[in-house]
Every structure is written in C-alpha cells, then in structure tokens.
Amino acid sequence: MKLVIERRDTSSTLMRFAAPVASIFVALAFAGFLLLAAGINPLEAYREILIEAVGSTYGLSETLVKATPLILAGLGVSIAFRMQIWNIGAEGQIYIGAMGATWVALFSGLENHWMLMITMFSAAFICGGLWAGVAGFLRARWSVNEVIVTLLMNYIAILLVDYLVYGPWRDPQGFNFPLTAQFADAARFASFFDTRLHSGFFLALVFALLLYLFMERTVWGYQIKVIGSNPQAARYAGMRTGQAVFWVLFLSGAIAGVAGFSEVAGLQYRLQHGLSPGYGYTAIIIAWLARRSAIGVVIVSLLMGILLVGGDSLQMLWQLPIAFVYAFQGLILFFLLGSDFFIQYRLKLIRGIRHG
C-alpha cells in the first residue's frame, strides 16, 4: 500500500475560508504548549489577553489603536502581494514615513492645523513611497530580488531614525532620551471618547475603502491583477510591467509610510527610538491571512490588535517578551500554509509493487 496525493477537481470553497480561522485556533493551541514549556499557564494567559483587549471600553479602544498602523501597513503589503511583489519592508517604511511627518511637524514652520495635516501626510506618503521605490526601481530595472532589498532597508531605516533621535533631532529638554521634541497641538490628530483612539483609525478605514475601489474598479487595479496573475501575459498584452512594479512598490511603501504618520501624529506626538514594535512584520501576516482582500485586512488587523494589546499586558504580568507574538504569528502562517494543501489536494491509498 502506498499513500498518494491527488489534486481535487475543484478547490474546496468551504476550506478556503475556514482555513485561516482554523489556523489561528490550532496555532493558539500549539502556542499554548510553548507557553507551558516556558512555565506559563496558557489558559490564564489567553484569558488575560481577552479581558485586556476586549473586556472593557478602554481595552477595546486600545485594540483599535493597535489595529490602526496594522490596517495601513497591511493594506500596503497586500497591494504589492496582488502583483506577486513581496514588500517585506513595511517596518522600515513606517519609520521613514514617521520621519517625514516629523520633519514637517517640527521644522516646516507651518502652524495651521489642516495645512500641517496635509503636508505631514504628503511627506509621510512620499518618503515611505520613495523608500520602497528604491527596491521597486532595482526590481524593475535589473530584477533585483525585492524581498532581500526591502528587508535589508528596514535595518537601514531604523538606524537612520536612531541617528536622528540620538543626534541632530534629539530634544534638548529630553534628558538625553532618544526622542525628538513633542509636536505642537496643531500637528496632532484629534482623539475621541477620552481614550487614545485617534483620527488615524478612521483614516485607515478610508484607505481600506479607497484601496478596494482602486483594485476592483480602476484601470490600474486591473493592470495589477493581470500582472499578478501572469506577468508574461501582461507583457504580451502590452502592459509596462517594469513601471508597474515600481509604482506598486511605491504605493505599497507610501501607505505603510502613512501608518508611520498616523503613529506620530495620533499617538506618540514625537519621533522616537523603537517607534514601531514590528507592525511592519505583522502586516505581512495580515496581508497573507486576508487573502488579498481589503476588508480581510481590516478584520485580521483587529484580531492582531487584540493579540498585541494582550501581549503587552502579558509582558507586564509575566515579563513575557513581546517578541513571543512573532512566534505565535509564525505558527499561524505555518498552519495556514499547511492547510492550504488540503484545499487543493486529497490523500488516497493505492496498491504498489514491492521493492527489492
């Protein structure tokens, strides 16, 4: 007897949507064993996460706050995914976007709130876009692997922001902490309900809607879909794939840059070391779990927001390193990739000859 793999006649629709949900739960179970091995009661930990993240108005608002940069960065990564371009550099693009917005807030001399908002937004958008655009240009011009370039540029971006906040941009009144001076009120988002929830969240939702329309209703979105589905066919149809690669990575980085803008204008009111605890990496998971859909990005970002808020409190309660969230996200991806197989194939037993 021998086990063989057979392709299914049609891929199972039920499995396709059930798989991400199931993966999260299986990953939760598996992560439980890891926690157990590290000496932490997983059930208590999960209860803690839920209570902290959705058990109160404050917890809920914190979840939305965490979800804000995730939605934006996730949308950025997912638009590149649509074209089979891998933007692993959202983390760096967030930093660079925040850097651009901070420059405007601190040094442009503008004082009008709306002028500031628009200029900060544009600066973040362009900075993030150009940062990713470097990888886009290299990929379009010489087919340089964009995964490695975007990733390595994360390290450079973080070091660049470090350079600024430890050096020229450091707040003279900041007791030598690596951070800039605080923004003036005119350079800040409005917050709501006496919580930390700020306009950035609604900006993220607007972006989700815009991106949905962009992909499904515009000529450019159509081109991205064709190129993503089959770049050779796109070339054959006369599409300029090289230009498209550049612009999609630009757009992808620009949206991630807006996430950086939203963080400094809505939450931190300054540029500082450790501005993002890895939102850009979580965004990759989000884009993959969301299966290319903008709405999916919003939903998955909210789930990840819960995890991050819970993770913060676990860190305080049990000194659990926040990086543990990565292990959990890695597990989700493993299980999702594994389950994808069963959407397309099934196993079958057959008889075989004896060897030897």
Closest residue by Cα to residue 189 from 263, 259, 127:
263
Q: Which residue among 186, 327, 343, 346 contacts other proteins (CB under 8 A)?
A: 327
Query: Which part of the chain contacts other proteins (CB under 8 A), choosing from 97-105, 116-124, 150-158, 245-253?
Result: 150-158
Instruction: Pick the binder of other proteins from 47, 155, 206, 209 (CB under 8 A).
Output: 155
To other proteins, the closest distance from the beta carbon of 341 in angstroms equals: 4
Contact (CB, 8 A) for 69 and 94: yes
Indicate the residue among 29 and 159 with the shorter CB distance to other proteins.
Answer: 159
Q: Residue 182 CB: number of other CB atoms within 10 A?
A: 16
| 79-98 residues near other proteins, rule: CB under 8 A | 86, 88
User: Which residue from 26, 28, 34, 299 is in contact with other proteins, where contact means CB under 8 A?
Assistant: 34
Q: Which is nearer to other proteins, 245 or 267 (CB)?
A: 245
239 near other proteins, rule: CB under 8 A:
yes
- CB 329 to other proteins: min, Å: 5
Binding segment (CB under 8 A) for other proteins, from list 50-58, 61-69, 243-251, 344-352: 344-352
* Beta carbon nearer to other proteins, 148 or 184: 148
The pair phi, psi for residue 34, each rounded to 5°, is -60, -45
> Which of residues 15, 22, 28, 148 is near other proteins by CB under 8 A?
148
Cβ proximity to other proteins, 57 vs 229, nearer residue: 229
- Classify strands 345-350 and 2-7 as parallel, antiparallel or unpaired: antiparallel
- Site residues (CB under 8 A) for other proteins, limited to 38-57: 38
Nearest approach in angstroms of CB 276 to other proteins is 15
Q: Determine the Cα–Cα distance for residues 274 and 75; give it in Å rounded to an integer.
A: 22
- The verdict on 334 binding other proteins (CB under 8 A) reads yes
Question: Per DSSP, what are the bridge partners of residue 179?
Answer: 272
How many residues bind other proteins, per CB under 8 A? 81
220 CB burial (10 A radius; 0-12, 13-18, 19+): middle
The DSSP code sequence of 159-179 is HHHHHHHHTTT--TTSTT-SB
**Kind plus residue range of the DSSP H or E element containing 5:** strand 2-7
Q: Which residue type sits at 301?
A: S
Residue 297 near other proteins by CB under 8 A:
no
**How many Å apart are CA 150 and CA 239, to the nearest integer?**
24
Report 159-218 residues binding other proteins (CB under 8 A): 159-160, 162-163, 166-167, 217-218
Stretch near other proteins under the rule CB under 8 A, chosen from 99-107, 169-177, 198-206, 324-332: 324-332
350 membership: H or E segment, kind and range:
strand 345-350
**What binding mask, one character per residue, do residues 101-120 give for other proteins by CB under 8 A, x or -?**
--------------------
* Cβ proximity to other proteins, 55 vs 330, nearer residue: 330
Nearer to other proteins, 30 or 192 (CB): 30
For residue 23, what are its two tokens? 């993966």
CB 208 within 8 A of CB 71: yes
CB of 297 to other proteins, least distance (A): 16
Fill in the amino acid letter for 137: F
Alpha carbon of 356 to those of 23, 46, 174, 353: distances in Å? 41, 53, 77, 10
How many CA atoms does the CB half-sphere of 172 hold within 13 Å?
A: 0
Residue with tokens 């990713």: 132
Our CB check for other proteins shows the closer of 180 and 262 to be: 180
8 Å CB contact between 249 and 139: yes
CB of 124 to other proteins, least distance (A): 21
